[in-house]
Amino acid sequence: MVVTELETFDTIGGGELEFNVTKNARKMLEKRVPVQQVEHYPLATKANQCCGGSVTVLLESFPVPQNRITIFGAGHVAKALIKILSQCDTRIDWIDTRAEIFPKELPGNVKVNPINDPVEHVEAMTSDERCLVMTHDHHLDYRLVSAILTRTEVDFVGLIGSETKSKRFISKLRKEGLSDEDLARCVCPIGLSSVKGKLPMEIAVSVAAQLLSLDPVANSDLKPAISWKEIRAAFSPSL
């Protein structure tokens, strides 16, 4: 049985048992923390059902993440950043051209996409996410930033690099016709200026802190309803 904030799909038999399980499931969702718990229901006493016997129910909570982040590039800084963000309330799409450099074991909230041209992924991006551009190729970095700023409404495009790289990119993008408003969405260098360390993990901590300090995306409210088809797709063994 699947329970969402507003709806239920399938059944565990109805009655007071199902009512209590549904209520407890929604309490778990309100906490917005992935969790598993087992609850035991003596039907006569706890569920007020005269048929007797007992039922043990496993409840698993899969809350919708508050933050969606796309990371382009799977280098040292990105790998360090994944270790941090994977433990936060985030859903991460991780993009790179080199399938072999992704770690073999990944956290459950990270989805990798080895793709020949990462710019193609821009078409799949929505305005309710933020992104980081940190590939191994400055030319690819530029193509990504240009595509994201012109084709999406993503409000934070973090670009790894120096002040010099930032000035060069901004100058070139302005010549392409991008407005000051669009250019303001690109942040380079990324990370908190108060963090001076240059090791990959030190940079990752700085970038993660900057991302988590941003206000929630304006249109990132939880989806009010979900279809049974979407539920089945979410739990498909092929994923």
Q: What is the pLDDT of residue 220?
A: 46
Q: What is the pLDDT of residue 33?
A: 72
Give the residue with greater pLDDT, 173 vs 54: 173
Are 103 and 79 within 8 A, CB to CB?
A: yes
pLDDT at 169 over 80: yes
Q: What is the pLDDT of residue 134?
A: 96
Q: What is the pLDDT of residue 222?
A: 45
| Range 92-101 average pLDDT | 95
pLDDT at 223 over 90: no
Are 133 and 144 within 8 A, CB to CB?
A: yes
The residue ranges of DSSP E strands in the chain, in sequence order, are 2-3, 8-9, 35-42, 54-61, 67-72, 90-96, 110-114, 130-133, 157-159, 186-187
pLDDT at 157 over 90: yes
Q: What is the pLDDT of residue 229?
A: 62
List all residues 6 or more positions away from 76 whose beta carbon is below 8 Å from its beta carbon.
200
At 227, is the pLDDT very low, low, confident or very high (cuts 50, 70, 90)? low
| Range 97-123 average pLDDT | 93
pLDDT digits (tens, 9 = 90+) for 14-49: 888 899 899 999 998 888 777 888 998 887 766 566
CA atoms within 13 A on the CB side of 31: 11
| Range 151-162 average pLDDT | 94
Count of Cβ atoms closer than 10 Å to residue 188 Cβ: 20
Buried b (16+ CB within 10 A) or exposed e, 82-104: bebbeeeebbbbbbbbeeeebee
26-30, 75-79, 110-114, range with the lowest pLDDT: 26-30
pLDDT digits (tens, 9 = 90+) for 49-75: 666 688 899 999 887 778 899 999 999
Percent of the chain with pLDDT over 70: 87
36-40, 174-178, 230-234, range with the lowest pLDDT: 230-234
Q: What is the pLDDT of residue 228?
A: 61
Q: What is the CATH number of domain 67-212?
A: 3.40.50.720
Q: What is the pLDDT of residue 230?
A: 61
Average of per-residue pLDDT values in the chain = 87
| Range 184-206 average pLDDT | 93
Buried b (16+ CB within 10 A) or exposed e, 114-140: eeeebbebbeebeebbbbbbbbeeeeb
CATH 3.40.50.720 segments of the chain? 67-212
